[in-house]
């Protein structure tokens, strides 16, 4: 890990989540406590020698309540502080962390500084907990600089949790109890944390241009997710696909992107696609991706006008669609960009992944 020439200036954005919670003595339930309290519980932060400021969500949010307006607020804080800070650490609940990480990766265009998101399974302040280590590690990652170039080591949105640093838009929450709560099944870790923080430099994203940070604030929430399962019926699926409120649907399919080939199913999808809805095929499997041509069942979806989401996570596909429609693109443009990497979120069919 490179050492910074001067004391790194970091901004902590505290949105809420378990990391900053405490047990209500009366009910035993976890309730958010204030940030100063959180900091008092981690006196070791002072030993890092960093120049740290903070911005708070008031009240702190359980991340189940996160929505695009909150993502916009986080982006605003990053944009406002972009020239003043070397890096950003976002403290966030684990439940929807992968959605926020994905959304920020699409919204923060031209990002050239670290945005490291972390949280914990147990609150800082409990005797046995993972929050202290996660917070300190996230700060160290946000402060890390390349030894030769002096540039920030991480120039993308990443999730630091437990022993790994993951690309934000490749991550998924995999456990509600394990201290390794996140994984990226289709992209290797950006760093491994053991005695040292070991970055895998070849895996880290390099910004495509040297341009300034540009924030794409608009997120269109006229999107939805349809989960298919054996026994799904036309009367259940039809209203979801026909809804006038929805411009695009992430279709969670089986295996390599397969779905029933019953005529009603294909007809429904073809009708929705013809009406200009963008339907993106994303597998229900945590690892691997959609290979439309592998089985006739997947091929039928492509024939009906369904677009392959390749190896994107559902979190990435959904927030990417919100971003693309939010940017004012037409359905055919959205469909095209859904199959192209724009922030390192997918691997193309030919195996390449750079934007």
Binding site for ligand ASP (CB under 6 A): 16-18, 62-64, 93-95, 119, 121
Contact 321, 278 (CB under 8 A): yes
Give the residue among 99, 90, 106, 116 at the shortest CA–CA distance from 193.
116
* Least distance from ligand ASP to the Cβ atom of residue 228, Å: 27
Q: For ligand ASP, which is the closer residue by CB, 86 or 95? A: 95
Q: For ligand ASP, which is the closer residue by CB, 55 or 62? A: 62
Residue in the structure block whose two tokens are 């986080």: 74
Q: For ligand ASP, which is the closer residue by CB, 60 or 260? A: 60
* Residue in the shown chain whose Cβ atom is closest to ligand ASP: 93
CA 5-8-14 angle, 5° bins: 170
Of the candidates 15, 18, 94, 100, the residue annotated as catalytic is 18
* Least distance from ligand ASP to the Cβ atom of residue 196, Å: 26
Q: For ligand ASP, which is the closer residue by CB, 121 or 224? A: 121
Q: For ligand ASP, which is the closer residue by CB, 3 or 64? A: 64
* Least distance from ligand ASP to the Cβ atom of residue 163, Å: 17
* Least distance from ligand ASP to the Cβ atom of residue 318, Å: 17
Q: For ligand ASP, which is the closer residue by CB, 124 or 306? A: 124
- Concatenating the DSSP letter of every residue in 5-34 gives SSPPEEEEEEEESGGGEEE-TTT--EEE--
* Least distance from ligand ASP to the Cβ atom of residue 4, Å: 30
Contact 16, 62 (CB under 8 A): yes
Contact 103, 68 (CB under 8 A): yes
Q: Could you give the strand order of the β-sheet that contains 307-308, starting from the edge strand earlier in sequence?
A: 223-227, 248-253, 278-283, 307-308
Calculated CA dihedral for residues 335, 340, 344, 349, nearest 10 degrees: 120
18 is a catalytic site residue? yes
Contact 88, 50 (CB under 8 A): no
Q: Which residues contact 43 (CB under 8 A, 6 or more apart)?
A: none
Residue in the structure block whose two tokens are 């002096």: 150
* Least distance from ligand ASP to the Cβ atom of residue 123, Å: 9
* Least distance from ligand ASP to the Cβ atom of residue 67, Å: 13
Contact 14, 57 (CB under 8 A): yes
Q: For ligand ASP, which is the closer residue by CB, 147 or 178? A: 178
Residue in the structure block whose two tokens are 């109890």: 177
- What CA–CA distance (Å, rounded) separates 213 from 222? 26
- What CA–CA distance (Å, rounded) separates 72 from 86? 20
Q: Which residues are marked as active site?
A: 18
């Amino acid at each position: 890990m490179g050492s910074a020439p001067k004391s790194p200036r970091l901004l902590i954005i505290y949105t809420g989540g378990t990391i900053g919670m405490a047990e209500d003595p009366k009910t035993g339930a976890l309730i958010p406590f204030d940030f100063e309290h959180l900091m008092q519980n981690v006196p070791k932060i002072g030993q890092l020698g960093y120049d740290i400021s903070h911005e708070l969500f008031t009240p702190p949010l359980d991340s189940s309540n996160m929505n695009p307006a909150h993502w916009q607020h986080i982006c605003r804080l990053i944009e406002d502080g972009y020239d003043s800070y070397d890096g950003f650490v976002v403290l966030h609940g684990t439940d929807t962390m992968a959605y926020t990480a994905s959304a920020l990766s699409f919204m923060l265009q031209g990002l050239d500084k670290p945005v490291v998101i972390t949280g914990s399974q147990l609150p800082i302040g409990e005797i046995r907990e993972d929050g202290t280590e996660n917070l300190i590690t996230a700060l160290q990652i946000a402060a890390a600089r390349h030894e030769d170039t002096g540039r920030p080591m991480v120039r993308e949105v990443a999730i630091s949790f437990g022993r790994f640093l993951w690309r934000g838009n490749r991550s998924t929450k995999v456990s509600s109890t394990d201290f390794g709560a996140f994984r990226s099944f289709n992209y290797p870790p950006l760093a491994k944390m053991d005695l040292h923080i070991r970055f895998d430099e070849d895996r880290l994203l390099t910004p495509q241009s040297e341009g300034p940070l540009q924030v794409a604030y608009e997120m269109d929430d006229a999107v939805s997710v349809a989960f298919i399962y054996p026994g799904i019926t036309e009367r259940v699926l039809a209203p979801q696909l026909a809804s006038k409120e929805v411009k695009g649907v992430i279709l969670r399919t089986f295996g390599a992107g397969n779905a029933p080939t019953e005529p009603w199913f294909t007809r429904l999808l073809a009708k929705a696609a013809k009406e200009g809805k963008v339907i993106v095929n994303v597998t229900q499997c945590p690892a691997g991706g959609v290979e439309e041509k592998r089985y006739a069942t997947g091929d039928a979806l492509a024939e009906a006008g369904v677009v392959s989401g390749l190896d994107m996570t559902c979190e990435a596909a959904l927030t990417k669609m919100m971003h693309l429609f939010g940017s004012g693109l037409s359905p055919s443009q959205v469909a095209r960009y859904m199959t192209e990497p724009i922030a390192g979120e997918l691997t193309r069919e030919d195996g390449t992944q750079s934007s």
